[in-house]
């Protein structure tokens, strides 16, 4: 096997080695502030825009109990979630918590404060909210309806036909806006993108547990099938992770 074939076969090993920082050999790179990618993605002409309730947090939740009882749940009953619960899940994953003159901070950390992760809820069973594919407008804390109708079969099929993605009340599809992170971190950006999405996934689990809901994350996906559902090209923006949530069966 020649070196090129080995790089193709062992692409993960190759990336891990090539993206390491070495003392005295850091990449020379000046930030081009005039071409910094936008921090927020919004859709100009969504089918609908739905404002979410402002987050109101119960004051009787035991934080350490949430931490210790968090677990993956792969089966759900078919009682609907509320739009308030949806709003708390979204805010907990990526809501804006404080602002300075230079930056708006969120509920999860992000390398360089670049926040490359976007969230697309596929709504299957939420009270007073039609089924469809939505985008979370983080800056305005609202939903943008992109596609009407039940998307669960397409999403579940793209998650290697896992039943939990079909029977969940919501499927959260997390995507990465690659240029948003690459602007600063070049090829090493992929390391940080996956870390950023992991932070969001953990908050997703914790908020779900705090609300008494079941949740699970899915990393096994047919990338291009999910990209097709979302209408993205898989290069500048690509699906990388899915979270399913619903009411626990018992």
Q: 237 forms bridges with which residues in the sheet?
A: 177
Residue 2: pLDDT band with limits 50, 70, 90: confident
Multiple choice CATH, 47-247, 3.40.109.10, 3.40.50.620, 3.40.50.300, 3.40.50.2300: 3.40.109.10
Task: Name the 3-class secondary structure at 244.
Answer: strand
Of the candidates 55, 17, 105, 25, which has an alpha carbon nearest to the alpha carbon of residue 210?
55
Token digits of residue 118: 């976007």
Contact 231, 244 (CB under 8 A): no
What is the predicted pLDDT for the residue at 57? 87
How far, CA to CA in Å, does 234 sit from each of 12, 86, 109, 174?
A: 18, 26, 24, 12
Contact 171, 121 (CB under 8 A): yes
What is the predicted pLDDT for the residue at 1? 65
pLDDT single digits (tens) 20-77: 999 999 988 899 999 999 999 999 999 999 999 999 988 899 999 999 999 999 999 9
DSSP letters along 30-98, please? ---GGGPPPS----SS-SEEEEPPPP---TT--HHHHHHH--B---B-SPPBPHHHHHHHHHHHH-EEE
Render the burial of 173-185: b for 16+ CB within 10 Å, e for the rest.
bbbbbbbbbbbbb
pTM over 0.85, yes/no: yes
Q: Strands (DSSP E) along 156-232, which ranges?
A: 170-177, 213-218
Task: Name the 3-class secondary structure at 173.
Answer: strand
Contact 236, 94 (CB under 8 A): no
The C-alpha angle 35, 40, 41, rounded to 5 degrees, equals 100
What is the predicted pLDDT for the residue at 219? 97
What's the average model confidence in pLDDT over 150-164?
A: 97
Residue 36 zone, left/alpha/beta (φ > 0; ψ -120 to 50; rest): beta
Between 140 and 5, the more confident residue is 140
Residue 82: pLDDT band with limits 50, 70, 90: very high
Q: How many residues belong to the chain?
A: 250
What's the average model confidence in pLDDT over 166-182?
A: 98
What is the predicted pLDDT for the residue at 7? 79
Token digits of residue 207: 């908020």
pLDDT single digits (tens) 91-118: 999 999 999 988 999 999 999 999 999 9
Of the candidates 73, 107, 77, which has an alpha carbon nearest to the alpha carbon of residue 89?
107
What residue ranges do the domains of the chain occupy?
47-247
């Amino acid at each position: 096997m020649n070196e090129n074939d080995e790089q193709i076969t062992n692409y993960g090993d190759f990336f891990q080695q090539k993206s390491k920082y070495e003392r005295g050999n850091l990449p020379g790179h000046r930030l081009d502030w005039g071409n910094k990618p936008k921090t927020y993605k919004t859709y100009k002409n969504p089918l609908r825009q739905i404002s979410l309730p402002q987050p109101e947090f119960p004051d009787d939740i035991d934080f350490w109990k949430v931490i210790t009882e968090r677990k993956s749940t792969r089966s759900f009953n078919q009682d609907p979630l509320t739009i308030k619960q949806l709003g708390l899940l979204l805010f907990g994953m990526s809501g804006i918590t404080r602002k300075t003159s230079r930056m708006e901070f969120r509920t999860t950390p992000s390398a360089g404060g670049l926040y490359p992760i976007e969230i697309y809820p596929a709504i299957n069973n939420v009270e007073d909210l039609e089924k469809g594919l939505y985008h979370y407008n983080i800056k305005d804390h609202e939903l943008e309806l992109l596609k009407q109708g039940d998307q669960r079969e397409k999403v579940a099929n793209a998650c290697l036909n896992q039943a939990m993605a079909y029977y969940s009340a919501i499927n959260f599809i997390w995507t990465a806006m690659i240029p948003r992170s690459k602007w600063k971190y070049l090829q090493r950006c992929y390391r940080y993108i996956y870390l950023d999405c992991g932070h969001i996934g953990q908050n997703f689990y914790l908020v779900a547990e705090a609300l008494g809901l079941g949740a699970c994350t899915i990393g096994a996906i047919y990338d291009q099938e999910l990209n097709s559902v979302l209408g993205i090209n898989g290069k500048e923006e690509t699906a990388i992770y899915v979270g399913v949530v619903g009411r626990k069966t018992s």
